Amino acid sequence: MSVKPQLIEIDWPDWGEAAPPPRPTVEELQQRLDTLRARAEARGLTHLAVYGDREHFANLAYLTGFDPRFEEALLVLTPGRTPLLIVGNECEGYLPVSPLHRAGQLRHERFPSFSLLDQQRHGSRPLRDILADEGIGRGARVGGIGWKYYPEFPDAAHALDLPAYLVDALRELAGRENVVNETALLMHPQDGMRASCSAAEIAYFEWSNTLASEAMKRIIWGVRDGIMDYDLMRLAEYPGVPLSCHMTLVHAANLDESLSSPVGAPIRRGSPLAGNVSYWGSNICRAGWVAASAADLPVAARDYVAAFVGPYVVALAKWFDMLRLGTPGGDISRMIQQELPFDDFGIFLNAGHLIHLDEWLSSPIYPDSAVPIRSGMVMQVDVIPSSPIYSSTRMEDGIAIADGALRAELAARFPACYARCQQRRAFMREVLGIGLPEEVLPLSNMAGIVPPYFLAPQQVVALRGA
């Protein structure tokens, strides 16, 4: 049956806020390390060197519960030895954040060169000596894990994104040919460890999606003609949890700076408006117009709902329906290209991607991708249209893909989380007309809600039988 998009008026649902789930236990972290070691050994690796810094923290946080603050850090996994975390001056005092370190299952050594400029550099061993004492030398084969891998490069195996001085030290000890990029072990969309989330991880990401979506709701309902963009973003009521990317707010004053933050300018009726709030494991984004109706839009854009937002929501309903276990990502990519032609909708990024502690992990959805949708994937509904006439629209929230066994575990261990997911599913189906396969669990309190006119947020797009 074909569907027709239309504007309806609703009271937005209130599913409440989630309680923070427990942090990973020593046992959970140790299991991740053991799994990674086993995968590395199967690839003929003797050591792993996992790099992290303030921006690229997620692999370290996933494995140890420690995320670098200000500085760089390096986790070295050596056969038969307790993992070693090398940190700078200021991160040494932050180490108790790691349950492994508190339990004596994570060694550490201070290396002041990881610290910020002009801090003291004495009192530690040279990096080469630290690595050599971990058994890295001739005969070792070291997997470097950063935050990217490069299949497009001629010598992809040896294209590393760790800082050059770290790679130089590893290559000097083990030989260039024996230091290889193994980031895919954690980040590849098909079999990377972080591409398959546990029930506990899904519960954490549902909590962060709930926090971020409640913040975005306050922002949207706070839009007023003339409000300063700084004042609008204050409505997010930032609670101090870690950000996975910077909060943005774009309107007429900074429209040519697509990832801009507020600039201290008033937001005016008739302007496009887009913003996001992103905590670890979530990124809630909406885009529309500072308008109460089509009459507030430029003349050329007054068919915004019929010509742009409506087709987008129809395509996203098909996108959701394709998120069934085993569907190749290339099929989903092709559908979006067909439903939302580039010349009209300007979609040039992937039609959705995996999200984890970092905002973009990797994506199974790209042209000709054979990577299947599978249980444990946590995905970002990140299909981003762009038009010189209509600006944009967005339904950007987090969802989890969970088979029957994972859903049962989530329901047993985190019943309130699972109940909210089911309530959101029912709302999307019964109110918005967007059906979901049983394996799709919406994590956001704004799931499926697209308000085109931010001065009338009670008006949202729904699908009805034609």
To 5 degrees, how large is the angle CA 233–CA 239–CA 242?
Answer: 100
Q: Three-state DSSP class for 399?
A: strand
Q: Which amino acid is at 26?
A: V
Cβ contacts of 151 within 8 Å, gap of 6 or more: none
Global pTM value: 0.96
Task: Give which of 343, 361, 345 is closest to 353, Cα–Cα.
Answer: 361
Q: Which amino acid is at 99?
A: P
Q: Cα 440 vs. chain centroid, distance in angstroms?
A: 17
Q: Three-state DSSP class for 419?
A: helix
What tens digit of pLDDT does each residue of 265-290 get?
999 999 999 999 999 999 999 999 99
Average the pLDDT over 320-329 and give the result: 98
pLDDT band at 153 (very low <50, low <70, confident <90, very high): very high
pLDDT at 92 over 90: yes
pLDDT band at 376 (very low <50, low <70, confident <90, very high): very high
Q: How far is it, in rounded angstroms, from Cα 282 to Cα 204?
A: 10
DSSP character at residue 158: G
Domains of the chain: 3-21+194-465 (3.90.230.10), 44-181 (3.40.350)
Residue with tokens 């996933």: 62
| Cβ neighbours of 74 (radius 10 Å) | 26
Average the pLDDT over 319-341 and give the result: 98
Element (H, E) at 273: strand 272-277
What tens digit of pLDDT does each residue of 196-247 get?
999 999 999 999 999 999 999 999 999 999 999 999 999 999 999 999 999 9
Share of the chain above pLDDT 90, in %: 96
Mean pLDDT of the chain: 97
What tens digit of pLDDT does each residue of 60-72 get?
999 999 999 989 9
Element (H, E) at 428: helix 415-430
Task: Give which of 180, 201, 146, 242 is closest to 377, Cα–Cα.
Answer: 201
pLDDT band at 131 (very low <50, low <70, confident <90, very high): very high
Average the pLDDT over 356-368 and give the result: 98
pLDDT at 1 over 70: no
The whole-number pLDDT of residue 466 equals: 66
Q: How far is it, in rounded angstroms, from Cα 324 to Cα 372?
A: 9
Share of the chain above pLDDT 70, in %: 100
Strand order in the sheet with 398-401: 353-354, 378-380, 398-401, 440-442
Q: How far is it, in rounded angstroms, from Cα 85 to Cα 102?
A: 13
The whole-number pLDDT of residue 123 equals: 84
What tens digit of pLDDT does each residue of 15-64 get?
998 999 899 999 999 999 999 999 999 999 999 999 999 999 999 999 99
The whole-number pLDDT of residue 128 equals: 96
* Higher pLDDT, residue 70 or 360: 360
What tens digit of pLDDT does each residue of 405-430 get?
999 999 999 999 999 999 999 999 99
